[in-house]
Each structure stands twice: as C-alpha cells, then as structure tokens.
C-alpha cells in the first residue's frame, strides 16, 4: 500500500502512505443521555449546525465537493478512493429524525457513513433507523455489569443503561436492516472494568472489530489506569481469536480529521491545552477552513497510517 520512492526530489511523497478511505469525524452534537466520567466530548454553548436542515445540506455539499468530487492535496497525498463520514458526539442518535436525514443526505452525496453510539436509542428510540444508510457502526460498551456501568457513568438520568441483551438485539437489528454493515464494539478500559473478562461476550457477538482503548486523561482522573494494567487487559484477551484492536494512550494521537458541532474543523492547540478552531465550513469553505487550522496533509497522513486507518473517534 505505501508508496516508496527513493529519489531526493520525491522525498516528500515517500513520507506519505496511501489509504483506501478517508475518514472525517463529525461531532454532530455535544448532547448525550449518558454521563461517562472519562468523556471528552464537551463543548461550550450549544449553537449546533444540525438545528438547520438547509445548513446541514450545504455543509454536506461543501464536504462532498471538496473531498469527493474535487482534487484536494489530501487526495493526491493519500490516494484515498472513498470518504467515510463518521457521526460522533455526544450521542448522534439523540437528534432523532434530524440525524436520520443527515445520514440519508450523506449517502446521497457519495459518502460512506458510520456512527459511534452508546446504543441506547438503537433499542429505545421512537423511530427506526432507515434501511441501508449505515456502512459501519461502533457501539460503546464498557461492562457487562450494571453496577460497573453505573460507576463509569454509562447510564442515563433514570438509571437505564445498555445491557448485554440490548447489545445483542441492537447488533442483530443492524445486521438485518443495514446491508453489509461492519460492526465494532468499543471498550474504554478504566479502573472499574480492567479486570473484567469479555472473551465469551465478544466470541458470541462476533464483531468485525473489538476496539479497546486506555482511558484518556480528559475527565475523571480516578478512572485512569497504568499502561501495565492496560497491557494486562489486552494480554488476558489475546490468543483466543478475538478481533481485538488495542490503542494505548501513546498510540491515540490526534490522528483524526475532526469537525465540531458548529461545523468547524478543530485540532489540538499547538500552543498547549485546548483546541484550535477554524471558521465555520459553511462560512468560508472547506479549503479556507483547513488552512486556518494549519492543516498539514503530510503530517496527517503519517499519523493516519500509524493507527492503521482505524481513525474513528470513540467517545459515546
Ligand atoms: S462517552 Fe459517549 S456515552 Fe459517555 S457521556 Fe460521552 S458521548 Fe455520552
């Protein structure tokens, strides 16, 4: 897959690895029905793009024109053939029919689509997900025990939480309504679940991927575990044929092309803590917005490759 080139004048090109798919993570909302202690999906005042359907359509047109129909530097550098729009949050499914419309529009405009969800509304939603609008789903699931999910905060205000049975039902429904969907389970390993055995559950569920992540130091530091504990968790689930993909803190670099709920690109600030934001993509266009966060396709592509193209965000 990678393009090796030994000539000096092409040394820039040699830094870049080709990938099949570009993933754009759109944090469509900050709202969430759960309250996980480690959650880093926290923004300021809600003034979110999804409040206006015309704004959503313009936004998707802008992204499609630039990344799919256009020839941006990133396309030349990475050689991607498709673009997947990954809806993250907060909890995207809290937006109900607005979210479904955004998904359908994204499909119409040529994107592959995916969602990172806590799964709650796959079981408790008032509306059914339309057929064949999702190519991939990542369901966050941190514990088979309600008591542990409560400690983590993975419950709503009424104390409801996605159970093992709910998870099985949700995955079964998705497989039957979304043709060819790839299913992922995301588990954030923290102080409350690091000794839990998931092997039987993952064997039964047979997801395409089980992504396990070390809790990041964004929220409640009391949930954090050492690298050694994380490695022990991974080792305890290895050698059993499980589709486990582990990301420790050190590999979870800012390898994502990220858009916030207001429709702005953002990235970690080069000046230290916090984020840097572009203007709204609908205000200034994709190219200008990318330039405002000093986006560097070459640096991006090398980080992109490092995490093996699995660059969806995982909160929810
Ligand atoms: S981690 Fe996900 S489910 Fe938990 S509060 Fe954050 S967005 Fe909601």
Residue 300's domain is classified under what CATH number? 3.20.20.70
Does residue 311 form part of some domain? Answer: no
Residue 210 in contact with ligand 1 by CB distance below 6 A: no
Residue 302 and residue 17 in contact, taking contact as beta carbons nearer than 8 Å: yes
First to last CA, the chain: 32
Strand-strand pairing, 244-247 and 209-214: parallel
Tell me how many domains the chain contains: 1
Could you tell me if residue 314 is inside a domain? Answer: no
pLDDT at residue 235 tops 60? yes
Run of H or E including 139 = strand 136-140
Range of the domain at 176: 20-306
- The residue ranking higher by pLDDT, 215 or 244, is 244
Q: Is 215 in the pocket of ligand 1 (CB under 6 A)?
A: no
Separation CA 95–CA 79 (nearest Å): 34
Indicate if ligand 1 lies below 6 Å from the C-beta of 91: yes
In a domain, 211, yes or no: yes
d(CA 31, CA 34): 9
Average pLDDT over the chain reads 85
Answer yes or no: is 224 within a domain.
Answer: yes
Asked if residues 6 and 14 have their Cβ atoms less than 8 Å apart, the reply is: yes
Mean pLDDT check: name the lowest of 53-67, 69-83, 92-106. 69-83
CA–CA distance, 251 with 303 (Å, rounded to integer):
9
Ligand 1 atom with the smallest distance to the CA of 154 is: 4
How many A from CA of 162 to the centre of ligand 1? 12
* 266 phi and psi angles, rounded to 5 deg: -150, 160
Atom of ligand 1 nearest to the CA of 35: 5
Choice between 109 and 5, residue whose per-residue pLDDT is larger = 109
Where does the pLDDT of residue 21 fall: very low under 50, low under 70, confident under 90, or very high at 90 and above? confident
Mean pLDDT of 238-246: 94
Q: Which of 104, 14, 30, 23 is nearest to 310 (CA)?
A: 23
Q: Which of 43, 148, 154, 314 to mutate to test the pocket of ligand 1 (most atoms within 8 A of CB)?
A: 154
Among protein residues, the one whose CA lies closest to atom 1 of ligand 1: 316
Question: What is each CA distance from 238 to 104, 231, 249, in whole angstroms?
Answer: 38, 10, 19
The answer as to whether 269 is a domain residue is: yes
Locate the ligand 1 atom nearest the alpha carbon of residue 40 and give its number: 6
Cβ neighbours of residue 257 closer than 8 Å, sequence gap 6 or more? 22, 23, 24, 25, 265, 300, 311
Q: How many degrees, rounded to 5, is the angle at CA 260 between CA 259 and CA 265?
A: 40
């Amino acid at each position: 897959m990678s393009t090796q080139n030994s000539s000096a004048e092409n040394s820039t090109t040699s830094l870049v690895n080709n990938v099949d798919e570009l993933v754009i993570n759109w944090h469509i909302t900050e709202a969430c029905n759960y309250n996980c202690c480690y959650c880093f999906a926290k923004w300021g005042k809600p003034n979110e793009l999804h409040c206006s359907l015309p704004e959503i359509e313009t936004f998707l047109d802008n992204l499609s024109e630039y990344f799919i129909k256009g020839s941006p530097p990133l396309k030349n550098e990475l050689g991607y053939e498709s673009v997947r729009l990954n809806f993250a949050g907060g909890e995207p499914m809290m937006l109900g029919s607005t979210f479904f419309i955004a998904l359908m529009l994204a499909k119409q405009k040529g994107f592959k689509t995916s969602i990172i969800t806590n799964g709650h509304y796959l079981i408790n939603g008032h509306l059914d997900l339309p057929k064949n609008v999702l190519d991939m789903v990542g369901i966050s699931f941190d514990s088979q025990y309600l008591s542990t999910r409560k400690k983590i905060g993975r419950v709503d205000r009424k104390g409801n939480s996605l159970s093992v049975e709910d998870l099985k039902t949700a995955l079964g429904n998705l497989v039957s309504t979304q043709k060819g969907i790839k299913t992922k389970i995301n588990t954030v390993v923290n102080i409350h679940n690091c000794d839990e055995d998931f092997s039987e559950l993952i064997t039964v569920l047979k997801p395409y991927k089980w992504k396990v992540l070390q809790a990041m130091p964004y929220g409640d530091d009391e949930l954090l575990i050492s690298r050694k504990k994380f490695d022990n968790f991974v080792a305890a689930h290895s050698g059993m044929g499980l589709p486990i993909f582990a990301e420790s803190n050190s590999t979870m670099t800012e390898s994502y092309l990220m858009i916030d709920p207001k429709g702005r690109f953002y990235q970690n600030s080069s000046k230290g803590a916090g984020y840097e934001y572009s203007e709204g993509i609908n205000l200034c266009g994709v190219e200008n917005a990318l330039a405002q966060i000093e986006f560097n396709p070459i640096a991006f592509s090398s980080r992109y490759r490092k995490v093996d193209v699995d660059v969806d965000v995982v909160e929810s």
